[in-house]
Structure 1
């Protein structure tokens, strides 16, 4: 036998420790007789288990290391030829706690091991806290190292493998290993640098049915041996232990490790040495606990802390800016403002019939139109459908247009002190009443006006002043009878169409704009109500009507009555994009006569002019010149005097001019972001308090489906089929969350058109709207249903019962639900067609189901599409849930007549392709790699796509 063949691959076994010797071609592969008082090399080998040599009287165990009586150590030393100045009486210390070196002998009771390898399986352990001192005890010395552990596993007396570990620390615990323990607690011996060696040719290492060499030889990492203290008062002279070591061993046998029973302990110590040890133990504060947090937990806490700090900082800054804005004294009376436009043209790209496919032709909607809105006046624009009335108003209001605009717009200042108002600021002093009504259906009329006043007036305006303005508008527009009634829509009954039109006008008036533009504000109104609306608008153009500045108003009308027609200061007639007439209403009769088509006595002149505009060929070529009326009408002395005063006044009017070719800027918000978020949040919560069907069905659906899933997987067992059901229940939770997140797309699409219109009106910035929308949707429609569903299913199924595991699972479920909702919101914001958004969302759900890890093994995906799994949030959610629910879970089942007990972690990775201990990594991926980018993309998409382009 060569020396190399007897050399151990483990450093602590280079010289065989106590109780071991070399009997074959492998070092330290046999037990020895005798006792620890003999040198290991002098102890006799046990050549065959059926013919063991005898242990020294008073010692026992698989390799004769354990003292078995209180006087056994002293008796052996007295009988031996050991001599020395021994002054201390030896005692047998029969507790697992080591003073110097303690030996342990246990029976291995693990179902799977016992079923696969039937026989008597024992484990022997040597715990070395300090090396024994021969001069004090007489125990044989061997090259032991302090803070180490040596262990050996035996099958029917034959050694199968042995292990070593270093950097060991000993501590006490009040929690016992066995429920039937002594109640005195346990001793825990935790080590690092575990290494093992499986002896070739043994039953467990190649000779038997299963070869454990790949498992044993790759054990590494940490190791712990926890043993209950022995109660000398009981009849039984043994205790229970648990061995756990290395990730591979933990993966195979679970967190509880390998259970050990009928454990005996023994070490020879001096009486004084033992008393000093217990005296020092009594003054210690307790076991040495490792209080260091993992990097992942520390990183997570830091990230959460930064997020909370950022939220509170944003809230604090919002409150500060809001208070500063409320204290800022803004001049409410700016003086009269007006508009002037010169050579406005608008060309719209349009596919013309007869042209080749894809070729575009230019169509002129407006052509060199000029005009003026005098400060403090009211101008009406007449013309048939398609004349360009709405287009002209859109351009003057600064709305985004899809075609090409050319020309100039000038802002006219009546008073010199208002010269600081520029064209770029015009959106703050202008209001626009669109031709279509887009009102909040679940707000009352008063609430709609309050919303417009709170976002359309400066924050320096107090609530009392706002309320006074709202009451005046309600009274003048005859809306007081329906002030507390909901507006309604096609599905919800509310106010009439004419009343909605007046609400739209009221929302513009409560903002007290300096310039008001209204597109067909009289449509849907009866003659009496229309006249009252015009009178109310007329009052706003007069000086001294209130402490606010007067308004300049321009509006389009289709066929006004004679009384309404004469109420305007000026009338502009458009036909096919060209201006045909601009002048006072009283001059319209003379103008019609100059065209050779005088107005009949029984017809309204406004109606007659519109009928003429239907046939542009009737106009004379000179009719498009400005000041046409002045050239054909001989003014009276009084009219000449008025004209001279007007020209003199015009020389005092200052103009801030801007080319329409400049890049169109979005309307500027009139209040702080904080005020916008608070106002929008208030409205959305009121709306859903009245229309609670969506919130109710989300929560009620979660409850119903939760009980259904919980009933299907009720109290899953720890069998193989129960393991399948356990994973299936988690898969069901995430699948339901994926489909329920479709409502995020429909919810955003439902608010899309009104948001675009209100954004164009300058009520708020899109970020403010998005924040308020996300606050409601993600909190009440995602987080609350996810918590409800998870809480019901989790406890009914019987997943891991610890509070930590529950909350970790809950966090994953909520974040995954939010991830899927944010993804659907992106689609709804990106595509105006809801059906297309739903289609793409369903395709995303199918990818998540397929590559989530439950239906398809992630390890066996072909390389060409292997990357798809990393685009699926469900993969990381299910993997994170599995890592906390399956790790350490023991399967207790009978297979082919054999009782097995094995950790799920031993085969779950190969079954699903999940990674071990991936919870925090997956949590970071779901939060930082999916949720954060989704929110950023959603923000960009809302700003980019949810804006008005006409």
Structure 2
């Protein structure tokens, strides 16, 4: 057989492998349909209720530093599942993945580039890669070294010319799709990992752009000795030839594994000859794609009537490969390769180090010793850095990036700020100079209800921007840059000032125009209580979006919940008249209950409202029971209103404490939701 086939990517002449995987099997329980069990006996139905569905079946292989492996196959072949297993994102049912000549696990020395480009659109290309470098390198790394690393990545990926251009948003055009792909790859390369996993790196790109992306990766793999494993669909010959080896899968089984140049020879040996003008990549995938098979092959499709395997016969192709592989490399050989490599005692070379760097190159890379974590939620502690300092550094960096994002994101935050200003103008022009009379008390109460309820309702506007940030979190956390704790802290720190600005502008615009309780002290208390309610509403919306990261679903649940809180907070129907079922739990966990109560007490306490009529004429009429009539005054105190509505049952201090507790609970649940999703 051809030498390219004999090697088959299973063993290496020098015994040094960047990654070795042995007998990988992944299966999931596949529940039988209810109908198929109705015609069985109860015992048989119970025994056969669950059957095993095999996603990957006994896959073995290896890759050395500097090599590129293309994982190919028709849809549903198991390409992404294998990539997830090799990268440590998914655990196999059996088998194991090892990193010979290294004491590290796979996740600590690798990076993963997902199919979609999860990037913040308002950041520039340079800023995007700079922040990735800042988050991944030790806190003690000098800024000059981070700048130098960023420049190197930009140069290696051909992004220098667009370094200061923004990524792009729906309302602001940015860089091209191919350039975004290279930025995503650059974010994963700032630590110069030993292994780079790519999920469909050419998806959605035209042929020329796809070739630009793959050729850039080819150059980096060769330059830095990075082992690259990529799933890829239908590459043309120019792209396919950039890879050293290919692994063809179908229904979770190996059909071919070896050098790209050995594809034609292998399938020709099975009776299938690739035409001179046919792309070998398309040729081999079409042979094992049985999605549209309608019986046997035609005479035009078959090279000879003695073809050993029929087109679309996945099992036949897989058995042919398995029989050949078993004669070349046995499982015992693979185990000896892995064990001997790990027990050799030779430390692995620094990540990204080249064969014999010059003294100048050595100096250049000294500041770039990568720091990775073995778990997304607990960053590793670099030498000389405590766990606290690492977490603090990540939090500060994320906060800084958030502030840049918020200050530029006109669609997400400029529009939100305009909404609060517009709402303030609306209240200022509808509720104008409310008189301190009994007949205007309900109007005054509606101001406080509207302020709490509708400003809280507007928190749903923060969901789209959070979902963008969440996609970046998933990419960076899965690449071990940081965990959910720094993200939660940074999100809290950067969100609070924005909400305070919105609350302040709203209050300044409408408070004095409406004619609420005069005095600077009551104004600032109004602002503080309103701000607390807005923060609670915002963190509730973010919690829902974290737990249900689908915009329509998060929007629907947030809208329903805010409407529910309006119903049970005590304005539309007094709390004493609420059905006991709702009163004893919903009313007391409603953040609007406490915000509304504090606003009303702050405004009404100390005010006196004149009633219609007079005591002398005997027609004094107040909207609420008055304690002043008995004292000879046809008026009522604000405290009388608070007491009649039973809003004074909770003091302002206690209400503020409970509202802060609700905010803290929302943040803790937010963190827990993110942590659960990152498992």
Q: In the aligned structure 1, how far is the partner of 2:591 from the partner of 2:667?
A: 15
Answer yes or no: is the 8 Å Cα contact 1:337–1:552 preserved in 2: no
Answer yes or no: is the 8 Å Cα contact 1:534–1:564 preserved in 2: yes
In the alignment, structure 1 residue 412 sits paired with structure 2 residue 144:
no
CA shift at 1:813, angstroms?
A: 0.9
| SS of equivalent residue, structure 1 residue 767 | helix
Q: 2:658 aligns with which of 903, 916, 925?
A: 925
In the alignment, structure 1 residue 944 sits paired with structure 2 residue 676:
yes
Answer yes or no: is the 8 Å Cα contact 2:211–2:239 preserved in 1: yes
The aligned residue for residue 476 of structure 2 is 758
Unpaired stretches in structure 1, ≥5 consecutive residues: 1-335, 414-418, 632-643, 657-663
Q: 2:504 aligns with which of 783, 787, 808?
A: 787
CA shift at 1:552, angstroms?
A: 1.9
Q: 1:802 aligns with which of 496, 500, 519?
A: 519
Query: Which structure has more RCO (C-alpha within 8 Å, separation ≥ 6)?
Result: 2
The aligned residue for residue 55 of structure 2 is 365
Larger strand percent? 1
1:603-658 per-position Cα deviation (integer Å, ceiling 9, x unaligned): 34444333333322552734214646859xxxxxxxxxxxx9x99998852169xx
Change (3 A) 1:476 1:580: same
| SS of equivalent residue, structure 1 residue 371 | strand
| SS of equivalent residue, structure 1 residue 715 | coil
In the alignment, structure 1 residue 581 sits paired with structure 2 residue 256:
yes
The aligned residue for residue 887 of structure 1 is 605
| SS of equivalent residue, structure 2 residue 648 | coil
Q: In the aligned structure 1, how far is the partner of 2:209 from the partner of 2:413?
A: 39
Answer yes or no: is the 8 Å Cα contact 2:263–2:280 preserved in 1: yes
Answer yes or no: is the 8 Å Cα contact 2:377–2:675 preserved in 1: no
Q: In the aligned structure 2, how far is the partner of 1:648 from the partner of 1:410?
A: 12
Q: 1:708 aligns with which of 415, 422, 426?
A: 426
Q: In the aligned structure 2, how far is the partner of 1:469 from the partner of 1:629?
A: 47
| SS of equivalent residue, structure 1 residue 600 | coil
In the alignment, structure 1 residue 912 sits paired with structure 2 residue 600:
no
Q: In the aligned structure 2, how far is the partner of 1:778 from the partner of 1:355?
A: 56
Once structures 1 and 2 are overlaid, which stretch shifts more, 667-676 or 783-792?
667-676
The aligned residue for residue 322 of structure 2 is 624
Change (3 A) 1:923 1:367: same
Q: 1:610 aligns with which of 282, 285, 295?
A: 285
CA shift at 1:392, angstroms?
A: 0.7
What TM-score comes out, normalization by structure 2 length? 0.76
Pairing of 1:609-758 with structure 2 (within 5 A): 609-614=284-289, 615=312, 616-619=314-317, 621-625=319-323, 627=325, 653-654=341-342, 666=376, 669=379, 672-758=390-476
Once structures 1 and 2 are overlaid, which stretch shifts more, 570-579 or 366-375?
570-579
Q: In the aligned structure 2, how far is the partner of 1:587 from the partner of 1:399?
A: 31
| SS of equivalent residue, structure 1 residue 591 | helix
Q: Root-mean-square deviation (CA), in Å? A: 3.4
| SS of equivalent residue, structure 1 residue 907 | helix
Answer yes or no: is the 8 Å Cα contact 2:376–2:483 preserved in 1: no
Answer yes or no: is the 8 Å Cα contact 2:17–2:62 preserved in 1: no
Unpaired stretches in structure 2, ≥5 consecutive residues: 1-15, 39-44, 290-311, 345-373, 382-389, 621-632
Q: In the aligned structure 2, how far is the partner of 1:718 from the partner of 1:620?
A: 87
The aligned residue for residue 273 of structure 1 is none
In the alignment, structure 1 residue 555 sits paired with structure 2 residue 196:
no
Q: In the aligned structure 2, how far is the partner of 1:822 from the partner of 1:883?
A: 25
The aligned residue for residue 380 of structure 1 is 70
Pairing of 1:72-471 with structure 2 (within 5 A): 338-349=18-29, 355=36, 361-400=51-90, 405-413=93-101, 419=102, 421-423=103-105, 426-471=106-151
Q: In the aligned structure 2, how far is the partner of 1:366 from the partner of 1:649?
A: 22
Answer yes or no: is the 8 Å Cα contact 1:337–1:515 preserved in 2: no
Q: In the aligned structure 2, how far is the partner of 1:905 from the partner of 1:706?
A: 24
Q: In the aligned structure 1, how far is the partner of 2:318 from the partner of 2:147?
A: 53
Answer yes or no: is the 8 Å Cα contact 1:890–1:902 preserved in 2: yes
CA shift at 1:562, angstroms?
A: 4.5
Q: In the aligned structure 1, how far is the partner of 2:417 from the partner of 2:201?
A: 42
Answer yes or no: is the 8 Å Cα contact 1:382–1:610 preserved in 2: yes
CA shift at 1:814, angstroms?
A: 0.7
Change (3 A) 1:679 1:355: farther
CA shift at 1:943, angstroms?
A: 1.7
Q: In the aligned structure 2, how far is the partner of 1:777 from the partner of 1:653?
A: 50
Change (3 A) 1:773 1:718: same
Answer yes or no: is the 8 Å Cα contact 1:438–1:757 preserved in 2: yes
Q: In the aligned structure 2, how far is the partner of 1:805 from the partner of 1:836?
A: 39
Q: 1:485 aligns with which of 165, 169, 173?
A: 165
Answer yes or no: is the 8 Å Cα contact 1:337–1:514 preserved in 2: no
CA shift at 1:396, angstroms?
A: 0.8
CA shift at 1:876, angstroms?
A: 1.8
CA shift at 1:906, angstroms?
A: 5.8
In the alignment, structure 1 residue 776 sits paired with structure 2 residue 476:
no
CA shift at 1:863, angstroms?
A: 3.5
Answer yes or no: is the 8 Å Cα contact 1:909–1:916 preserved in 2: no
CA shift at 1:760, angstroms?
A: 1.8
Q: In the aligned structure 1, how far is the partner of 2:37 from the partner of 2:335?
A: 53
Larger helix percent? 2
Change (3 A) 1:476 1:541: closer
Answer yes or no: is the 8 Å Cα contact 1:667–1:761 preserved in 2: no
Answer yes or no: is the 8 Å Cα contact 2:135–2:482 preserved in 1: yes
| SS of equivalent residue, structure 2 residue 173 | coil
Q: 1:869 aligns with which of 587, 596, 606?
A: 587
Q: 1:846 aligns with which of 555, 563, 571?
A: 563
Change (3 A) 1:563 1:942: closer
Answer yes or no: is the 8 Å Cα contact 2:376–2:482 preserved in 1: no
| SS of equivalent residue, structure 2 residue 657 | helix
The aligned residue for residue 934 of structure 1 is 666
1:713-761 per-position Cα deviation (integer Å, ceiling 9, x unaligned): 3322222123333323222221222222222344433433333233222
CA shift at 1:832, angstroms?
A: 3.1
Q: In the aligned structure 1, how far is the partner of 2:542 from the partner of 2:250?
A: 43
Q: 2:272 aligns with which of 597, 616, 623?
A: 597
CA shift at 1:431, angstroms?
A: 0.7
Q: In the aligned structure 2, how far is the partner of 1:360 from the partner of 1:778?
A: 50
Q: In the aligned structure 1, how far is the partner of 2:456 from the partner of 2:419?
A: 14
Once structures 1 and 2 are overlaid, which stretch shifts more, 743-752 or 378-387?
743-752
Change (3 A) 1:895 1:852: farther
The aligned residue for residue 9 of structure 2 is none
Q: In the aligned structure 2, how far is the partner of 1:708 from the partner of 1:913?
A: 29
CA shift at 1:577, angstroms?
A: 0.8
